[in-house]
Amino acid sequence: MVTRREFLIGSAAALSSSAQARPVICAFSKHFQWTSGIAEMAEVMVSLGYEGVDLTVRPGGHVEPNRVQEDLPKAAEIIRKAGLKLPMVTTRYTDASSPEVETVVKTCAALGIRLYRCDTFTYDAKRPLPVQLEEFRGRVKELAALNRRYGVCAIYHTHSGPGRVGASMWDLYLLLKDVDPDAVAVNFDIGHATVEGGYGGWIHSTRLLLPISRGVAVKDFLWRKNEKGVWTPWWRPLGEGMVNFRQFFAMLKQSGFAGPLQVHMEYPELGGAARGDRTIQIPREKVLELMRRDMETLKGWLKEAGLA
């Protein structure tokens, strides 16, 4: 029989656990490559209200893969001393046999970084999809085996677009459903999910993939015609597009998601920061103003959903 004291202690623990079950708002370091280095980047992120960092560990990123053993520990120390968490990094790997992948995984594990974003697969339009999915499944299992050895997890980003494995979301579920989600999981991008299923498809995709998601990315967009008259996604500041963030964050709250929530700012007004340029074409103050507006919008939605 549970005593009243035990019940109260258990209730308090449950409330405490519930209060802690919220996303960690992370800056994607690609958008901050115009800063003078890791220290200034971290300082800017803190000033904008971020809680963590998704650090690029890939060619041309903040850490070059061939220098990961030397440079990632230094970067991690600077980021954490600034008061930011470092729950994940972004890489270009898809296979356990990729050059340097084991070194990167091992270094992340030693530093307590448990998540890394891997690269995506591409379909060959001339071959049957089921055959290709079976081949991809074998590669995923090999990557999962490597990750289990070091206690880390690869998260597969849900990009939109023709030829992308995972764009339709259902194929990614089929690819990962028999894989340990603590070894290979999903980085669910609600912007790309809405590109692929703007009416109701994104709702089904969210329900399907959130249980095996260890990361979430947010961005907003509208459809518009490009200079060739072709309809394409036009990335916008948060709140200026068609992504239903209020409904999505309510679903995120219900799921108990507490991983890194990465803010992707890919709209052209950022003067090159969206692309990861090292030199921006507009005043720094304007870039920070736009980034701060995104953060204020995001935090408002998260508070509304009980996630802040």
Instruction: Provide the pLDDT for residue 12.
Output: 44
Residue type, 15: L
Q: Is 154 exposed, middle or buried (0-12, 13-18, 19+ CB in 10 A)?
A: buried
CATH number for position 239 = 3.20.20.150
Give domain status of residue 95, yes or no. Answer: yes
Does residue 177 belong to any structural domain of this protein?
yes
Residue 15: count other Cβ atoms within 10 Å of its Cβ: 10
**What's the token pair of residue 202?**
């994104």
User: Residue 4 class from Cβ within 10 Å (0-12 exposed, 13-18 middle, 19+ buried)?
Assistant: exposed
Residue 10 placed within a domain = no
**Structural domain total, the chain:** 1
In a domain? residue 13: no
30-39 per-position pLDDT tens digit:
999 999 999 9
Specify the pLDDT at position 6. 36
39-50: pLDDT as tens digits: 999 999 999 999
Contact 84, 52 (CB under 8 A): yes
Q: Which of 106, 108, 126 is nearest to 116 (CA)?
A: 108
Q: Which domain holds residue 233?
A: 21-304
Residue 1 domain flag: no
Kind and range of the H or E run holding 174 = helix 170-176
Say how far apart CA 147 and CA 115 lie, in whole Å: 10
Residues of the chain with pLDDT under 50: 1-18
| pLDDT value at residue 17 | 42
Facing residues of 233 across strands? 223
Listing DSSP states for 250-276 in one string gives HHHHHHT--SEEEE----GGGTTGGGT
How many of the other CB atoms lie within 10 Å of CB of 237?
17
